[in-house]
Chains A and B, each alone.
Chain A
Amino acid sequence: MVKISDLSIGQVIKSEFDGITRELLRAYAKASGDTNPIHTNDAIAEKAGLKGIIAHGLFSYGFITKLFEDFLEYGKYGKLIEIDVTMRAMVRCGDLLITEAKVNKIEGKRVYLDVIQTTITNVDIKDKDGNTVKQFEAGERGYISDKDIEQGLVKTKEVDEGILTYREREATPGTAIIELNE
């Protein structure tokens, strides 16, 4: 059960999704009616200067809605009043999509939250001699830009197979308001 008295400023609710695939985006395009080919056809996306298909903005947005609906158990403990986000960065196949909401104000039964979606984009794994052991789509298609490097978004960490290079980027910042029943 979720009650207003159980929540506190700074509390975070979070979800992660790592299943973004071309098949899923095709299914989303069909279900949503947003059939813009930049979401389903790599050749057209490349022609548009995108280097490959990108997820629909509302596909990612759906995970924000789902975060709150799961938290509120689909209306059992309260309802969504508002979600307002800016889609700053593209979300792509293979990305890990992390959705977080942090409580910043509580007034009566209303809870005001800061929302952020972050993408983790794997680039490649290199062994200790610098040889590429594995290359991911972002490495193959050149999704990582000089700007990403300049901004310090490209990082490395040790994994079983070697050193993983990845980009961690804030994709969708915004706010949300929910109202609890009690």
Chain B
Amino acid sequence: MQNGVDRPFLLDPGKLLHAGQKYDWEGCVDIKPNDKLIFTAKWGKVWVVEKNMVLFGEIFVTVKNQEGELVCKPTITAAIKPGGY
């Protein structure tokens, strides 16, 4: 919500950049053919670099198979340039 009005967080997908990626497979099982993968994600730290006003955000993802076993723990860092948020 901005100035009392609901609006999308991402205003221009063209301003969205992939700024970092971590894949953590510690304690994870392999993905097998026909597995069903379930993704859950939650926001981590969100910050703005004042020098260029680029907005960064961390997204913590958990990927499990149909048995509930972890297959990967990715962390995504997204960046949105000015005008995109």
Identify 16 new A-B residue pairs, CB closer than 8 A, beyond the known A38-B14, A84-B20. A45-B14, A47-B14, A48-B81, A50-B14, A80-B25, A81-B25, A81-B26, A82-B23, A82-B24, A82-B25, A82-B26, A84-B24, A85-B20, A85-B22, A87-B17, A87-B21
Question: Which residues from 1 to 28 on chain B have a C-beta closer than 8 Å to any C-beta of chain A?
Answer: 12-26
Chain A 29-64 per-residue mask, 1 if CB under 8 angstroms from chain B, else 0: 000000011100000110111100000111001000
Majority-rule SS of A interface residues = mixed
Which residues of A does B touch, CB under 8 Å?
Answer: 36-38, 44-45, 47-50, 56-58, 61, 65, 79-87
Complex interface: chain A residues within 8 A of B23 (CB): 65, 80, 82-84
How far, in whole Å, are A85 and B76 apart by their CA atoms in the complex?
10
Report A165 CB to chain B, min CB distance, Å: 27
Report A27 CB to chain B, min CB distance, Å: 18
Complex interface: chain A residues within 8 A of B22 (CB): 82-85
Report A86 CB to chain B, min CB distance, Å: 5
The listed residue with most B CB atoms (<10 A of its CB), out of A36, A38, A48, A84, is A48
Report B5 CB to chain A, min CB distance, Å: 25
How far, in whole Å, are A44 and B14 apart by their CA atoms in the complex?
7
How far, in whole Å, are A15 and B13 apart by their CA atoms in the complex?
32
Complex interface: chain B residues within 8 A of A82 (CB): 22-26
Complex interface: chain B residues within 8 A of A65 (CB): 23
